[in-house]
Amino acid sequence: MCNFNIAKLKNNRLMQMNALEELRHDACTSSLIYKEKTKSWHDKRIKSNKEFYEGQKALLFNSRLKRFPGKLKSRWDGPFLVKNVFPHGAIELISKYGTPFKVNGHRVKRYEEGALRNEDIEEGLLLEGMTQT
């Protein structure tokens, strides 16, 4: 009861609450700055070759290939022919059998004509082995 001054304790508690509020505000602003920097860093590294047009060839990411995929097996199927590009990001592809289907644009990448696929490399190795024997 000797040091029980209500006015002094009230001022001390208000100062502590103001200091805590300032710390919260500083943490919030530093968090926003960090998020903006991370977003700009990520956006700089996104590949910009996601623009497709009709008649172009594209590869489709196969996310269902899970049973014994093999260590070096590619998860990209194709090439497929682009039939239509929608403004909301969907792409309509034509399979090798001629049936059209729609996919999300994030699952598609350009097909480079000069690049060899794994199946082509394996066929070439098999043919070389047959001709050498």
pLDDT at 125: 54
The answer to whether residues 62 and 31 belong to one domain is no
Q: For residue 74, what is the enclosing H or E element?
A: none
The answer to whether residues 63 and 122 belong to one domain is yes
Give the whole-number percent of the chain exceeding pLDDT 90.
31
The answer to whether residues 112 and 68 belong to one domain is yes
* Range with top average pLDDT, 24-33, 64-73, 123-132: 24-33
Task: Specify the number of domains making up the chain.
Answer: 2
Kindly report the CATH number assigned to the domain that includes residue 77: 2.30.30
Mean pLDDT of the region 94-116? 83
Instruction: Classify residue 4: in a domain, yes or no.
Output: yes
Q: Is 107 exposed, middle or buried (0-12, 13-18, 19+ CB in 10 A)?
A: middle
**What is the residue range of 2's domain?**
1-36
Q: For residue 45, what is the enclosing H or E element?
A: helix 6-45
Q: For residue 35, what is the enclosing H or E element?
A: helix 6-45
Instruction: Classify residue 45: in a domain, yes or no.
Output: no
Q: Is the pLDDT of residue 5 over 90?
A: no
